[in-house]
Structure 1
């Protein structure tokens, strides 16, 4: 179960639920409004059921830690061009994506809130892009909440003060701002 939650947390990092062409993750909190999709309403009998994947004979390794790294505004092609050897090493030994898409407009604070909560700004309400403590925090269950609910410890380190508003302070065991 913990392995599944860790994978879900990592998956939540890479998926964003803003726009009708992107996937959305379950939040554990039911929505009162339906989520728009491109899936047409079926008029015929549903297709035959696809069997649920079964585990392979190769056991998955236990994951001791999950490290989520976000480079604000970094284009994927710049990683190879700049010879970012440490980033390339992380990519070789972990999970990553070079095809993630952001929300529109692509502002730092709303984008990171969407990435961590898994919803668009209309749901998490973060539409500002500067540190405004009186505005509060992103609404919804974020990856830190999911980790805590699974009994895991969390650390949040940011290089921009405004990113302190993506999660409530009590959602992390340790938080630091590097300036």
Structure 2
């Protein structure tokens, strides 16, 4: 785009239309500023994600206990003691769930750990698992690697790639200038 000074006969409306489009560095700079501002905003949201999560949970808990507090307030009980009582009942419910669930989770985890080796061995014997050929033992990997490296054509290819890579690196280094 031509510069505005190169358009002496253009009307002010035409010069305004060209505006920023005739300045590619300005457009690029403003684009970079916009992207930077976006990254700063996203970084701020990421840094506040824990606070936002806790605030959201507190909001929904407050919505959940509001009917109980309203009913108690209608019966003449102050809001503070009702909220405290609901908190204590909720904490007792979570603790009770923990006392019931944690021992069972521990038992199931121990059973899973005990059964894991036999389950893996049984899995590899299944008919649907055989075509997958996933069993890559250390000896098989080692033998495949040895076979690959013993082939002269593979070694030649590896050498050529390394040579070209080194040549490319040295061509761009200050010592080669």
TM-score (structure 1 length as normaliser): 0.13
Structure with the largest fraction of helix? 2
Q: TM-score, normalised by structure 2?
A: 0.13
Which has the higher Rg, Structure 1 or Structure 2?
A: 2
